[in-house]
Chains A and B, each alone.
Chain A
Amino acid sequence: MITRFLIQGMDKRGLVFLAVLAALAILVPLANLLLPPGSLLHVPTSTMSLWGKYLCYALLAISLDLVWGYCGILSLGHGAFFALGGYAMGMYLMRQIGSRGTYGNPILPDFMVFLNWSELPWYWYGFSSFPFAMLMVLAVPGLLAFVFGWFAFRSRVTGVYLSIITQALTYALLLAFFRNDMGFGGNNGLTDFKEIVGFNVQAQSTRAALFSMTCIMLIAGFLIARGIVSSKLGKVVIAIRDAESRTRFLGYRVDRFKLFVFTVSACMAGVAGALYVPQVGIINPSEFAPANSIETVIWVAVGGRGTLVGAALGAVVVNYAKTVFTSGFMAPYWLFALGALFVFVTIFMPKGILGTAQDWWTRRKAPPEPSPAAEPAPAE
């Protein structure tokens, strides 16, 4: 049943996407570890980690596309779930430091010693265990999304109002995590990681493994999202996006369907955050910044919402462009470029890169037929 669920509705585009990811998962680490640095095909460790970061963003984008592109829930706070997953991973990594920290305290992370705390807060318990931490990576964002969604969707908060409160959610968490007495390292966040499941986080081989793991998780996230949107539940969710009250009059409890996709999406974002932290080496409250969540929306819009593959593509393209732009003489103009990109895509490519390419392809392949009058639903 699970296999059937995961492969139903798989199209050529999806297969290409999976093949590329599988190839990356195998070839990039090999090119990094086996080929000598002088070789033409050698992938430097820094490049590999950078692309690992892009792929984490791609997973975040897919999770947002699931709720926005398919269910019409424009979450402007998805960065919060990403950051919470990141913090759960960060807490595990902090506990792995043990007595190798600056203050040499075997139990307490450095920042707690610095704050003169004498014992570990209760919510840090268990994070020395990897399985527990991984459970929390899913559970904390998932639970927050469930509780938040429970109230929001039951009270039928929709559209721009929902977007605003998701934005408020991530902003509230930003302020909370900035506070030292929250016990998450204040504005410095969590850093100076040493080991992950017994391997040195800085080591080249660990970084290669993390890159592969990111590819695998992106594949898994894509398959789950694909399975959901191709199922009958996916059809219900699209129906909710396009005509919510009609769906309700058909007897579907709209709030429960929204809650399901929102929670699944938050868990997925949490996983993306957890993979991001060991590759970047730090997690701090700035990950909760509202601007991050809004940028995620731009990635999805640029790539093509409601396509999953497009969301991932958009995340990689925009972030690659960001890397190019923010290093070198063009650095001061990055925000202008990002803004211009968003305006350009909204006006000229409302379906994003993938949607536009697909339209072009079908128009080229098939003679024009009486085109559906339907236009894409307004961005909401």
Chain B
Amino acid sequence: MNAPVPGALTSSLLYLDGVSVSFDGFKAIRGLSLTIEPGEMRAIIGPNGAGKTTMMDIITGKTKPDVGTVMFGGSVDLTKLDEAAIANLGIGRKFQKPTVFDFHTIEDNILLALKSKRTVTRTLFWRTAAADAKRIDDILGIIKLGDARDRLAGSLSHGQKQWLEIGMLLAQDPKLLLVDEPAAGMTDGETAETAVLLKEIARDHSVIVVEHDMGFIRELGVKVTVLHEGSVLAEGPLDQVSANERVVEVYLGR
């Protein structure tokens, strides 16, 4: 994608321009620019240390960029907000290592993620309304954990935890989902099912997927951005990108 034309700033859902961040002199991200349109699903690939996770940290407010613009919905400056504010704005995140609440039941995990007012008083006097209960049932159905709803999340298998976390993302009903390596550690069957699930989610959400698994990305069939040393190396359909000489060079090393 080329530099955004004037006016594109308001139409794109997520807009990163000239973002750089360094840790103790190491430049994790250098001059990264990226735009995600509403409703778009984008796959991000890149070798280890390319800055994929740092990019997610910047979007979700965990890391503040040294320079650069990070805009959401065309008008909100994400660099000014903290994690909770960004989450409430409608950006959900699934971590690389599945992070669920082990000591809560599966149902409670979804309940905690369910879109609602996050204030102290609202949660203290919370009553689960019928609509909320139905939403929880629906999500448990989508992620196929309906029968296990009363089990502790800590007892789930790795793949089930990944799904539960995707379910939690759905419950948050974010405008933009950041999904870090959803297929990591999954069997081939599970990977294929996850791809189907993500495509379904992408129908009414914008999604950024970070993934190593090329087969998985091929199954998603979406535009791919290749990161290398903290900036965009190539962008386009997977076939075009994987034919790019620089990309091959970076991935295979020379």
- Taking Cβ atoms with an 8 Å cutoff, the residues of A that contact B are 1, 5, 228, 231-233, 235-236, 238-239, 242-243, 245-254, 256-257, 260, 370-374, 377
In Å, the complex CA distance between A374 and B62 comes to: 27
> What separation, in Å, do the CA atoms of A1 and B124 have in the docked complex?
11
Chain B residues contacting A231 (CB-CB under 8 Å) are 123-126
Q: Chain A nearest CB: distance from B239 CB in Å?
A: 34
- Closest CB pairs A-B (n = 3): A374-B154, A251-B87, A232-B126
B102 and A253 contacting across the interface, CB-CB below 8 Å:
no
Is B191 part of the binding interface, using a Cβ–Cβ cutoff of 8 Å? no
Is the pair B125, A248 in contact by a Cβ cutoff of 8 Å?
no
Select the residue from B95, B103, B104 with max chain A CB neighbours within 10 A.
B103
Alpha-carbon distance between A235 and B108 when the two chains are bound, in angstroms: 8
Min CB gap B124→A, angstroms? 4
Choose one: A232, A249, A260; the contact of B87 (CB below 8 Å): A249
Interfacial chain B residues near A246, Cβ < 8 Å:
95, 99-101
Is B118 interfacial (CB 8 A cutoff)? Answer: yes
Chain A residues near B168: list those with CB within 8 A: 250
20 inter-chain pairs at a CB distance below 8 angstroms, sorted by A residue, are A232-B112, A233-B120, A235-B104, A236-B112, A236-B123, A239-B112, A242-B101, A242-B102, A243-B99, A246-B100, A246-B101, A248-B83, A250-B87, A250-B112, A250-B168, A251-B172, A256-B120, A373-B154, A373-B155, A374-B154
User: Given contacts A231-B126, A242-B103, could you give 7 more A-B pairs where the C-beta distance is less than 8 Å?
Assistant: A232-B126, A233-B124, A242-B101, A248-B82, A250-B112, A257-B123, A372-B152
Residues of B within 8 A of A5 (CB): 124-125
- B152 contacts A257, C-beta separation under 8 Å: no
Known: A233-B120, A246-B95. A238 touches B84 (CB 8 A): no
A243 surroundings in chain B (CB, below 8 A): 99-101
Nearest-Cβ distance from residue B139 to partner chain A, whole angstroms: 14
The answer to whether B154 touches A372, judged by C-beta atoms less than 8 angstroms apart, is yes
C-alpha spacing A9/B151, complex, angstroms = 17
Partner of B111, one of A228, A232, A233, A247: A232
Contacts of B102 in A (CB 8 A): 242, 372, 374
Distance in Å: Cβ of A5 to nearest Cβ of chain B: 7
**B-side contacts of A374, CB under 8 Å:** 102-103, 152, 154-155
Q: Complex: how many Å from CA A242 to CA B119?
A: 20
Q: How many Å from the CB of B67 to the closest CB on chain A?
A: 24
In the bound complex, how far is the Cα of B172 from the Cα of A195, in angstroms? Answer: 58
Q: Are A253 and B101 in contact (CB under 8 A)?
A: no
Q: What residues of A have a CB within 8 angstroms of the CB of B125 in the complex?
A: 1, 5, 231
Asked whether any CB of chain A lies closer than 8 Å to the CB of B113, the reply is yes
Chain B residues with Cβ below 8 Å from A249 are 60, 83, 87, 92-93
Report which of A232, A248, A371 forms a contact with B84, defined as CB distance below 8 A: A248
How far is it, in angstroms, between the C-alpha of A371 and the C-alpha of B152 when the chains are bound?
Answer: 10
Q: How far is the CA of A248 from the CA of B99 in the complex (A)?
A: 12
Contact of A238 with B120 in the complex, beta carbons under 8 Å: no
- Which partner residue on chain A sits nearest B154 by CB separation? A374
> What residue in chain B is nearest A371 (Cβ atoms)?
B155
Quick one: CB contact mask for B114-157 with A, threshold 8 Å, 1 for yes?
Answer: 00001110011110000000000000000000000001101100
Residues of A within 8 A of B82 (CB): 248
Instruction: Assess A239 versus B95: contact at CB under 8 Å? Given A232-B111, A253-B84, A257-B120.
Output: no
Question: Which residues of chain A have C-beta atoms less than 8 A from B101's C-beta?
Answer: 238-239, 242-243, 246
Determine which of B87, B119, B120, B151 lies in contact with A248 in the assembled complex, contact meaning CB atoms within 8 Å: B87
Chain A residue with Cβ nearest B94:
A249
Residues of B within 8 A of A251 (CB): 84, 87-88, 118, 172
Using Cβ atoms and an 8 Å threshold, which residues of chain B touch A247? 112
In the assembly, what is the distance between CA of A272 and CA of B163, in Å? 46
Tell me, in angstroms, the Cα distance from A225 to B137 when the chains sit together. Answer: 30
Instruction: Evaluate contact between B84 and A254: CB separation under 8 angstroms.
Output: yes
Cβ–Cβ < 8 Å partners of A252 in chain B: 84, 118
Determine the distance from Cα of A256 to Cα of B118 in the docked complex, in whole angstroms: 10
A228–B124 touching, CB < 8 Å: yes
CA distance A372 to B152 in the complex (A): 7
Measured between beta carbons, the chain B residues less than 8 angstroms from A228 are: 124
The A-contacting residues of B in range 214-236, CB under 8 angstroms, are: none
Cβ of B74 to closest chain A Cβ, rounded Å: 21
